[in-house]
Structure 1
Amino acid sequence: MIREITVILLIGFVAWAYQATCPPPPNVCGSPGGPAITAPRIKLRDGRHLAYKEHGVSKELAKYKIIFVHGFGSSRHDAAIAANLSPEVVDELGIYIVSFDRPGYGESDPDPKRTRKSLALDIEELADQLGLGSKFYVVGFSMGGQVVWSCLKYISHRLTGAALIAPVINYWWPGFPANLTKEAYYLQLPQDQWALRVAHYAPWLAYWWNTQKLFPPSAVVARRPEIFSAQDVQLMPKLAVRQINRVIQQGVHESLFRDMMIGFGTWEFDPMDLENPFPNGEGSVHLWQGDEDRLVPVILQRYISKKLPWIHYHEIPGSGHLIADADGMTEAIIKALLLGDKVTLS
């Protein structure tokens, strides 16, 4: 009798554990009972849809065409480079910017097969369907900066230039010295250390870990104030009101948690092995980093800049993670990328 009860309890525990670790299916936009579709979208090669938003001058009149890649927990509406550029600069230079919802965010269909390469190919297809021409610029912020590394790997032949703004680091990239990544890793809050361990070593537990109540989940997901620098806190009132419910309306797993799984999983390439995509100076790559960024350790960005001397590295004293929202920064970022201007901040 005891044996039978034990077996039943074990089966019940396994069933509970499986259900707890299995995320609910995504609430896809346009599906019965799902969120409404309000944005223009393109249909991709595999049938998925990608929602986008256009900014600046028309692409027919534009001299410079930029694809902006948003960060973690954001959407096509959170395009800092579009929001912070003055209309005068946009018109004078002839800048067209398109931002898009990455898969699972906003109104873009989830992609359970998402990889680093598929994200780069999504961007290439977006450019082609919008008629941006054979070459274009890419700019990525935070987790979107990680996507720019994938663009440099897989579609560099399509790029005129690229900018990475406070790009998120993967602590398991093999090009980093172990002692350096260990030092940087332990600069995070303990709960973020554990959240990233789960995302890297046991991604199938990512949903459960970040939704259970036994341990504190990712501080980034919870937007704990400790993760922001003094400058970040000052800049937050300037930011547009982010409708987080619409950002993750299709489900937190296919947006936030898959982002973590992709970003901190095992990569098939190491950014530090990349070669200069513009050996003849026909374009440029820029990396912008605040030295007081509490989400992305500056010591690792410094190491990348030494390993890849062809990248124009810009470290801004006193700046945090929201570097692009500081006064004058967006214009400096864009002019350095498009015109090769040196950084001059008042």
Structure 2
Amino acid sequence: MAEVRGRDTWRASLIEDSDGGDPVASFESEESFKEQVLGFVMAWCEILVELGRGFGDILRQNLINQDSYLVKKFGGPFSKLSNRFCFLNDFLPEDRDPLHAWSVVFFVFILALLAISVDPSREAVAPIVKVRKHPPGASRVQLPDGRHMAYHEQGVSADAARFSLVAPHAFLSSRLAGLPGVKASLLEEYGIRLVTYDLPGFGESDPYPNRNLNSSAMDVLHLVNAVNISDKFWLLCHSSGCTHAWASLRYIPERIAGAAMLAPMINPYDPHMTKEETKRTWGKWLPRRKMMYSLARRFPKLLTLFYWKSFLPEKHDEIDKLLSFSPGKKDKLVIEEPEFEEFWQRDVEESVRQGNIRPFIEEIVLQISNWGFDLKELHVQKKCQTRGILLWLKSMYSQEDCELAGFLGLTHIWQGLDDRVVPASMMEYIERILPEAVIHKLPNEGHFSYFYFCDQCHKQIFATLFGTPQGPVERQEETSLEEEDKEEVLQVPV
């Protein structure tokens, strides 16, 4: 038996040939593959350690010696600083080098801070949930240009609807949002038909790369015609979804009875905002949100690089991180509810189902670019024909050639004063340029607290818009017919 010594140990043995020939020497490894890999890694670690020591010696010889530039430049101030803190060395054991010891203390201190910053309870409460894919299930209509628009209906049927509500959704949302958590019994009580739809490229609606706010209003017009809304309808919107509601009020006012807006978004670059309104608006936002709007205005293509994971997340994250805002007290309570979290996750999953980031970029750019109109154009005012001197003189003494311009319907706005997404300063701007709008200021309410899963809030909104509930049209007609039949029976002579 022969042994070869080294890191690997081999055993030599004589094995007789099966044909009776000369013995053959064979070597068998007594070391597993795992042990060989471990030995290889350890050897490389030793090499790297020696290499580091070599670099250290070179640095000490060339940069830290008495003749080096660093020592001559910073040696004096460093020595003075070191002498001031030398009393701390008394706390160290005598056999410890202060430089090495305090380096280790500083490193451990940094690790302790990182450990403290991690909240283990939060991780336990909010486990990682992946974004799921769902089969298509929306109703769709074809628009004149060939695109398909997905929509969703709630409430009473078309022939029984006393009021029709049409709702565009906000950013990172879909047709599933509507009025989150609204009870079917409440819609039935007021005879409301609620129609929500997916914006182009969101949910199951076809994308439309060349869209603008004018085309957005035309999409709404084609949708209501396709779903048999022949009378005037109401708009319901929340947050950035109100961008499309403003466009509908501007371009198709003759079809709209009124609008219910909750925390309506306006263009943060609106040139008619005062410096104080602009300052207060931007002051409420986090740096990440400010950067998003700045990039969208100046370098929209860079949004794809910076916000790919935010707009098309692979796993669900906290809503405040996705929307880049710091929630207030009431919003925190709302978003921590399991009911809200489940609804929000499903809504996000529907909005990103096409896996295309371009519609999200288009939506942000629409919010902060030139809308094609000013909000002050919705202000109700008299518009007289003044072409020519005679018409101008006539309009001075007669109102026959004058007509009202702007949006003539009702506009109700609900604004939480603790809103961190759409600051109250935006509401103040709207109140200033649209004095006919009815503003409902909500103390202590946030961005979501008066909109999501609030039965009492929904009742207040409907009562404000529609007054006393009268039920569906069909039920009222049946009741009146029954009363007429009873009166006829009573009048029949016996």
TM-score per shorter chain, which class?
0.7 to 0.9
Q: Amino acid of the residue matched to residue 447 of structure 2? A: H
Worse-matched range after superposition: 225-234 or 149-158:
225-234
Alignment TM-score, normalising by the size of structure 2: 0.57
Q: Which residue of 1 aligns with 2:141?
A: 42
Which SS does the other structure have where 1:84 is aligned?
A: coil
Matches of 2:210 and 2:323, distance apart in 1: 30
Matches of 1:287 and 1:177, distance apart in 2: 21
Contact 1:62 1:94 in 2 (8 A): yes
Are the structure 2 counterparts of residues 280 and 166 from structure 1 closer, same or farther at C-alpha, using a change threshold of 3 Å?
closer
- Say whether 1:317 aligns with 2:317: no
Are the structure 2 counterparts of residues 262 and 282 from structure 1 closer, same or farther at C-alpha, using a change threshold of 3 Å?
closer
Q: Amino acid of the residue matched to residue 274 of structure 2? A: P
Are the structure 2 counterparts of residues 146 and 114 from structure 1 closer, same or farther at C-alpha, using a change threshold of 3 Å?
same
Are the structure 2 counterparts of residues 156 and 231 from structure 1 closer, same or farther at C-alpha, using a change threshold of 3 Å?
same
- Which of 328, 332, 336 is residue 460 of structure 2 equivalent to? 332
Q: Which residue of 1 aligns with 2:362?
A: 258
Contact 1:71 1:141 in 2 (8 A): yes
Matches of 1:284 and 1:36, distance apart in 2: 39
Matches of 1:340 and 1:160, distance apart in 2: 17
User: Which has the larger helix fraction?
Assistant: 2
Shift of 1:339: 2.8
Q: Which residue of 1 aligns with 2:349?
A: 245
- Which of 166, 174, 182 is residue 84 of structure 1 equivalent to? 182
- Say whether 1:127 aligns with 2:127: no
Worse-matched range after superposition: 36-45 or 98-107:
36-45
- Say whether 1:180 aligns with 2:266: no
Q: Which residue of 2 aligns with 1:295?
A: 421
Matches of 1:255 and 1:227, distance apart in 2: 25
- Higher RCO (C-alpha under 8 Å, 6+ residues apart): 1
Alignment TM-score, normalising by the size of structure 1: 0.80
Which SS does the other structure have where 1:208 is aligned?
A: helix
Contact 2:379 2:407 in 1 (8 A): no
Q: Which residue of 1 aligns with 2:301?
A: 204
Contact 1:134 1:158 in 2 (8 A): yes
Q: How many residues align?
A: 301
Q: Amino acid of the residue matched to residue 332 of structure 1? A: Q
Q: Which residue of 1 aligns with 2:478?
A: none
Contact 1:56 1:90 in 2 (8 A): yes
Shift of 1:221: 8.4
Alignment map for 1:59-138 (pairs within 5 Å): 59-80=158-179, 83-85=181-183, 87=185, 89-138=186-235
Matches of 2:423 and 2:467, distance apart in 1: 29
Matches of 2:437 and 2:443, distance apart in 1: 19
Which SS does the other structure have where 1:324 is aligned?
A: coil
Q: Amino acid of the residue matched to residue 302 of structure 2? A: L
Q: Amino acid of the residue matched to residue 53 of structure 1? A: H
Q: Amino acid of the residue matched to residue 331 of structure 2? A: D
Contact 2:380 2:406 in 1 (8 A): no
Q: Amino acid of the residue matched to residue 187 of structure 2? A: V
Which SS does the other structure have where 1:328 is aligned?
A: helix
Matches of 2:325 and 2:409, distance apart in 1: 38
Are the structure 2 counterparts of residues 64 and 327 from structure 1 closer, same or farther at C-alpha, using a change threshold of 3 Å?
closer
Q: Which residue of 1 aligns with 2:156?
A: 57
- Say whether 1:227 aligns with 2:329: no
Contact 2:421 2:447 in 1 (8 A): yes
Which SS does the other structure have where 2:439 is aligned?
A: strand
Contact 1:105 1:254 in 2 (8 A): no
Query: Could you say which structure has the larger radius of gyration?
Result: 2
Matches of 1:198 and 1:312, distance apart in 2: 34
Q: Which residue of 2 aligns with 1:169?
A: 266
Contact 2:308 2:357 in 1 (8 A): no
Contact 1:116 1:262 in 2 (8 A): yes
Shift of 1:329: 1.2
Gaps of 5+ in 1: 1-33, 214-218, 342-346
- Which of 145, 153, 159 is residue 250 of structure 2 equivalent to? 153
What percent identity do the matched residue pairs reach?
29
Which SS does the other structure have where 2:413 is aligned?
A: strand
Which SS does the other structure have where 2:205 is aligned?
A: coil
